[in-house]
């Protein structure tokens, strides 16, 4: 569905991505693991068009995305739930959702999607007229996800949705991720919490220092000695 190949992105002279290739399969959850500073956020921002790569290509169902503006990339069907959520704090929950549909013109369909979001996230419905800045961290994360979904993405990118949230809330976020996937949403999920990711993801990529250093299924990931030690903390038999 989404194919990234040989992507190089730099900040000045620093190469944050040194030729990254990965594949996101349609209907699946692909998880990107890796330590801080590995380049995960840089990759997400490059796919979303906020950063321009030096080289490489990003194809959505065969169509090149590199060179398009972020707005065009949204209308092609990519939505990013950014690191730290970045909801619009001075807007109400309802306005945040409307902003998520900024590229769309189908008013009645937007209204219908809004009701679907409220059905999926009842907390947001209760707080629809509340300013987003006054929501809890977990609620803001749900709002960020709902806002991204309002663009009706074909691929949903999520950059560390569990960052800074309490364990119970993290579990809730992962339930939502799993539920969205059951409804057919294709996802590329950046996550540091490998235990959680193992429960939902179908395919894993590990990034270190701007390169993909491992790729495999959850089974292969759990078997890998090095990953065991670095990301799963404990050694388990089998």
Partner 1 sequence: MIDFIQNTIDGVMIGSSYGLLALGFTVIFGVMRRLNLSYGPTVMIGAYFGTVLYLDFGAGLLAVAAAVVAGAVISGVYVERLCFAPMKAGAGIASMVSSFAIWMQLEQAAVLVLPRHTYPFPPLATGPALEIGPLLVRPDHLIMLGGALLLAAVVQLALYHTRFGLGLRAVIANPIAANLVGVDVGRLVMLAFAAASAIGGVAGFLVLAVDQQVTPMFGMWATLKGLIAMMIGGLGSIPGALLGGLLLGVVEVHSHWLFGPQVRDLFAYFVLFAFLVARPGGLLGRTADVELSHRV
Ligand X SMILES: Nc1ncnc2c1ncn2[C@@H]1O[C@H](COP(=O)(O)OP(=O)(O)O)[C@@H](O)[C@H]1O
Q: Which residues bind partner 1 (CB under 8 A)?
A: 48-50, 69-71, 74-75, 79-80, 82, 86-91, 95, 98-100, 102-103, 147-148, 151
Q: CB nearest Mg ion: which residue?
A: 41
Q: Does 46 bind Mg ion (CB under 5 A)?
A: no
Residue numbers 41-80 binding ligand X by CB under 6 A: 41-42
Interface residue with ligand X among 1, 39, 74, 161 (CB under 6 A) is: 39
Q: Does 162 bind ligand X (CB under 6 A)?
A: no
Contact partner at residue 50 from Mg ion, ligand X, partner 1, none, CB < 5 to 8 Å by partner kind: partner 1
User: Which of 153/210 has CB closer to ligand X?
Assistant: 210
Min CB(71)–partner 1 separation in Å: 4
User: Which of 69/136 has CB closer to partner 1?
Assistant: 69
Residue with the two structure tokens 């996937």: 181
Q: Does 41 bind Mg ion (CB under 5 A)?
A: yes
Give the dihedral of Cα atoms 150, 156, 158, 161; nearest 10 deg: 50
Report DSSP state, residue 132. Answer: G
Query: 21: which residues sit within 8 A by CB, 6+ positions away?
Result: 4, 5, 6, 7, 212
Query: 234: which residues sit within 8 A by CB, 6+ positions away?
Result: 228
Q: How far is CA 142 from CA 16, 117, 120, 124, in A?
A: 29, 10, 10, 8
Query: 12: which residues sit within 8 A by CB, 6+ positions away?
Result: none
As a whole number of angstroms, the distance between CA 11 and CA 27 comes to 33
Residue with the two structure tokens 């807007």: 91
SS (H, E, C) 163-203: CCCCHHHHHHHHHHHHHHHHCCCEEEEECCCHHHHHHHCCE
Specify the stretch interacting with ligand X by CB under 6 A; choose among 18-26, 34-42, 146-154, 165-173. Answer: 34-42
User: Which of 34/49 has CB closer to Mg ion?
Assistant: 34
Contact partner at residue 34 from ligand X, partner 1, Mg ion, none, CB < 5 to 8 Å by partner kind: ligand X
Interface residue with ligand X among 4, 38, 73, 124 (CB under 6 A) is: 38
Looking only at Cα atoms, what is the longest distance across the chain? 55
Strands 211-216 and 186-190: unpaired
Specify the stretch interacting with Mg ion by CB under 5 A; choose among 82-90, 94-102, 121-129, 219-227. Answer: 82-90
Contact partner at residue 90 from partner 1, Mg ion, ligand X, none, CB < 5 to 8 Å by partner kind: partner 1
Residue ranges in contact with Mg ion by CB under 5 A? 40-41, 83
Residue ranges in contact with ligand X by CB under 6 A? 11, 14, 16, 34, 36-42
């Amino acid at each position: 569905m989404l194919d990234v190949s040989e992507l190089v992105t730099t900040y000045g002279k620093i190469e944050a991505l040194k030729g990254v290739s990965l594949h996101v399969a349609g209907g699946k959850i692909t998880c990107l693991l890796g330590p801080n500073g590995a380049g995960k956020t840089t990759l997400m921002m490059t796919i979303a068009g906020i950063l321009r790569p030096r080289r490489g290509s990003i194809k959505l169902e065969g169509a090149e995305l590199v060179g398009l503006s972020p707005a065009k990339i949204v209308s092609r069907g990519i939505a990013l739930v950014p690191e730290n959520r970045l909801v619009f704090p001075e807007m109400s929950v309802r306005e945040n959702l409307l902003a998520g549909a900024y590229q769309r013109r189908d008013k009645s369909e937007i209204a219908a999607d809004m009701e679907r979001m409220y059905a999926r996230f009842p907390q947001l419905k209760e707080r629809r007229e509340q300013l987003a800045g006054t929501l809890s961290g977990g609620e803001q994360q749900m709002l960020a996800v709902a806002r991204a979904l309002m663009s009706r993405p074909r691929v949903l990118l999520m950059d560390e949705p569990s960052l800074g949230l309490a364990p119970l809330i993290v579990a809730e976020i992962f339930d939502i991720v799993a539920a969205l996937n059951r409804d057919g949403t294709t996802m590329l999920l950046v996550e540091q919490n490998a235990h959680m990711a193992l429960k939902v993801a179908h395919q894993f990529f590990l990034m270190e220092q701007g390169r993909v250093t491992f790729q495999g299924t959850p089974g292969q990931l759990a078997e890998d000695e090095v990953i065991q030690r670095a990301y799963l903390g404990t050694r388990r038999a089998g």
